[in-house]
Structures are given as C-alpha cells and as structure tokens.
Amino acid sequence: MTRVLVVDDDPGLLRTLRINLRARGYEVHAAAGGAAALAAAAAAPPDLVILDLGLPDLDGVEVVGGLRGWCGAPIIVLSARHGQGDKVAALDAGADDYITKPFGMDELLARVRAALRRAAPGEQAPVVGTAAFTVDLAAKRVTTAAGEVRLTPTEWHLLEILVRNPGKLVGQRQLLTEVWGPAYTSETNYLRVYLGQLRRKLEPDPTTPRYLITEPGMGYRFEP
C-alpha cells in the first residue's frame, strides 16, 4: 500500500485529506508540525509527502530541505502562500509540486497520482559500491570481501542517509533529527560514536577514513 505523509496544522484539513486519500487506497500518516513530520518520516519512510508551509514550529521550506536530504519521495506543497518567492524557495529546497489553497480535491488527487507515476522508475533502490564495501539499499545489506557485515538498525539508518547522498555534506542536525529525532539535535557525540563504529566495520583504515568523511563542526560525507 502506498504510504502518504500529510503535514498540516489544520485539524479539519487533515481529517478531509485522510478520508479522501484512504478512500482511494492510500495508507495515510499525519503530522501537525515540522518536527513531528521529520520524526514520522524517519520512523516510517513515506512514498509521498503532502506538506503545508505554515507550520507552528518549523517553516515548511526547512522541512522540505530536511526530508530531501535523505528521502526521495515526491513532496507536494499545499500552502496558502501565493507569492512567487515562496514557490521558488519551496521548489529550490526540493519540493516536486506546489498547490495553493483553496484547492480542488480532484486536482490534488490528480497531482498525487502524477507525482507517484514520475517517482515509479526510481522505486528500486540502487546498489552502491566502493572498493572496500557494497551497500544494497533495497535489501538493507552491506558486504565486504570477507562477507556480509552486521550493522545495528541505528548504524544502518545513519549509513543509508549518507550513501543516498554521495559526495554531499549532510549536516549534524539533519542526521540527528532523522536518526534519533528532533529532541536529540545537540547530541553530536552520538554521531562521533556511531560513525566510529561504522568506520571500524567498513573502512580499510578506520583511523584514516576514505569513505565516511567528517567535516568538522558541520557534518559528514560519503565518498564512493
């Protein structure tokens, strides 16, 4: 079943969207704020996100950027903001579509179907290889020349986010939010500990990492 995450602080609209999407066979998860949306997406990765920009805790554009750092699901922005600047900011952050309120339910559902069709060819997660190890994102499996490497769920989640963003800096705050939740954004020691564990399992020389790179004070990069 296709999983849709709906993010809006209007209870009436959330209820309406939930009813209409479920009636068409979608599995619907709802969040009323940006932090809750990021946590929900991390716990159960969505196939599509419908997101309001005017959230009570985080700006919707910030949420788009947080999701897009690791999540490839289409993001449809649903907002009362009509300005061109708002649309450009959301699309530049990684949104796939932008619908202004008020909107027609039939139009929204058509946009949902179109976004899912566009995303369909990319549903099969890739196999990412390096000279030292291979990551099968679909099977959630890591292998080296010596065989399969056993990772904890937290180690896997952290590695997956980095591998899905090859060559890109992934910020500390984003990693902490997506792996542990929004309450842990200051716990940078978690990242040091778990990246150290991953390096010991995957890097030929953990003291001089070649693939899991630290950008001091900023975040981490995966270099294939």
Which CATH number belongs to the domain containing residue 160 in this structure? 1.10.10.10
What CATH number is given to the structural domain containing 36?
Answer: 3.40.50.2300
Last-in-domain residue among 122, 137, 157: 122
Between residues 126 and 108, the one the model is more confident about: 108
- Report strand pairing: 75-79 vs 97-100: parallel
Range of the domain at 70: 3-122
Look-up of token digits 């995957």 = 202
What is the per-residue pLDDT for 30? 95
State how far Cα 9 lies from the chain centre: 20
Give the pLDDT mean for 121-147.
Answer: 84
Q: Domain check: are 34 and 97 in the same one? A: yes
Q: Domain check: are 111 and 218 in the same one? A: no
3-class SS at 50? Answer: strand
Q: Domain check: are 56 and 167 in the same one? A: no
Residue 127 to residue 200: CA distance in whole angstroms: 21
Q: Each residue of 28-77: pLDDT tens digit?
A: 999 999 999 999 998 889 999 999 998 999 889 999 988 987 888 999 99
Give yes or no for residue 200 having a pLDDT over 50.
yes
pTM for the predicted model, two decimal places = 0.56
Q: Domain check: are 133 and 118 in the same one? A: no
What is the per-residue pLDDT for 130? 94
Q: Specify the long-range contacts of residues 19-26, CB closer than 8 Å, at least 24 apart.
A: 20/105, 20/109, 21/109, 21/112, 24/109, 25/1, 26/1, 26/2, 26/112
What is the per-residue pLDDT for 125? 58
Give the pLDDT mean for 114-137.
Answer: 80
Q: Domain check: are 113 and 143 in the same one? A: no
Q: Domain check: are 159 and 114 in the same one? A: no
- The count of structural domains within the chain is 2
Between residues 91 and 208, the one the model is more confident about: 208
Q: Domain check: are 69 and 152 in the same one? A: no
Q: Domain check: are 73 and 27 in the same one? A: yes
What is the per-residue pLDDT for 121? 55
Q: Domain check: are 143 and 108 in the same one? A: no
User: Residue 126 has what DSSP assignment?
Assistant: P
What is the per-residue pLDDT for 81? 80
What is the per-residue pLDDT for 21? 96
Last-in-domain residue among 122, 144, 161: 122
Give yes or no for residue 124 having a pLDDT over 60.
no
Q: Each residue of 153-196: pLDDT tens digit?
A: 889 989 999 998 888 888 888 888 888 877 788 899 999 999 99
Closest-CA residue to 41 (of 80, 68, 20): 68
Last-in-domain residue among 122, 152, 176: 122
Q: Each residue of 16-27: pLDDT tens digit?
A: 999 999 999 999
Q: Each residue of 73-103: pLDDT tens digit?
A: 999 998 888 777 888 888 888 888 899 888 8
Q: Domain check: are 95 and 166 in the same one? A: no
Q: Domain check: are 58 and 142 in the same one? A: no
What is the per-residue pLDDT for 41? 92
Q: Domain check: are 82 and 161 in the same one? A: no
What is the per-residue pLDDT for 114? 85
